[in-house]
Amino acid sequence: MLATLMTQSARHQDYQPLPIDYVEALYSELAATGQAALFVGEVHGEPVAADLVTVCGAMVRGRLAGFDRTGEAAHLSVPAAIRWEIIRWAKARGYRWYDLGGLHEEALQALLAGECRHSDSWPSSDQAKVAFGGSPIRYPSAVEMIDSSPVRTAYDLSRRWAGGRRLVARATRRFRGASP
C-alpha cells in the first residue's frame, strides 16, 4: 500500500519511485525491531496517504511518504493530519526530535539565512514541512566509499561538470534498482 501511494506521488511530482522490494525490506527489517512505524491516513475507509518513519535514539525521522491526490483526498489535509499524529505518537513515547526530511536548496538557504519562513515559489513539499515550524539543519553530504584510486579520481572529476553529475545520478539510480 505504501509503495502504491509512493508511486502516485512520484508520478505527480515527476520522480522515480523506489523499488517495491526496497520499501518492503526497509519496513520489515526495521519494524520487526521497533525501529520503524507506518502511519496511514484514510478517507471513507480507503488509504490515501502514508508515512513511514524510523526511530533512533531520541529522533523520529520521516523516511518515505505517499499520497493519492485523486478524488476527495485532494481537498483534505490528510498528510498533515498524519504528521500531527506522528508528533503525538513520538511525544507519547518519549522521543525528542522529529525530522520531516530534506528541503530543496532554495528553501533551506533562505531559512538558514533567516530571510523568510515561507515562499510561494518553494515546492509544496517544502511549504508543508516549514508550516510545522522547527529549525532547519543542513546535514553533511553523503560520502561515497570508493576504494580504487583511479575510479575515485574519475568519480570526483565527473562531479565537477553537469554531464558527469547526470551520469553519476543515472548510474546511482540504476545500481539502486530504479529504472534509468
89: amino acid identity, one letter:
W
The yes-or-no verdict on residue 177 having pLDDT over 70 is: no
Percentage above 70 pLDDT, the chain:
98
C-beta separation of 30 from 54 below 8 A: yes
Query: How far is the C-alpha of 113 from the C-alpha of 133, rounded, in Å?
Result: 15
**What is the residue extent of each domain of the chain?**
2-101, 142-180
If DSSP codes are grouped into helix, strand and coil, which group holds residue 21?
A: helix
Compute the average pLDDT of residues 105-125. Answer: 90
| Contact indicator for 6, 65 with CB cutoff of 8 Å | yes
Q: Are 50 and 65 in contact (CB under 8 A)?
A: yes
Residue owning grid cell 539543519:
137
pLDDT of residue 152: 87
Spatial contact of 7 and 17, defined as CB atoms under 8 Å apart:
yes
CATH 3.40.630.30 fits 2-101, yes or no: yes
Cβ proximity of 47 and 41 under 8 Å: yes
pLDDT, average across residues 145-164? 88
pLDDT digits (tens, 9 = 90+) for 15-39: 888 899 999 999 999 999 999 999 9
**What is the rounded average pLDDT of the residues 140-161?**
86
% the chain with pLDDT above 90 = 54
The 10s digit of each residue's pLDDT in 8-19 is: 999 988 888 889
Mean pLDDT, to the nearest integer, of 60-72? 93
- The CA distance from 16 to 138, in Å, is 24
Confidence of residue 170 (pLDDT cuts 50, 70, 90): confident
Amino acid 140: pLDDT: 85
| pLDDT(110) > 90 | yes
The rounded mean pLDDT for the chain is: 90
CB neighbours of 129 closer than 8 A, spacing ≥ 6? 100, 101, 103
List the beta strands (DSSP E) in 12-96: 36-43, 46-56, 59-67
C-alpha grid cell, residue 59? 529522533
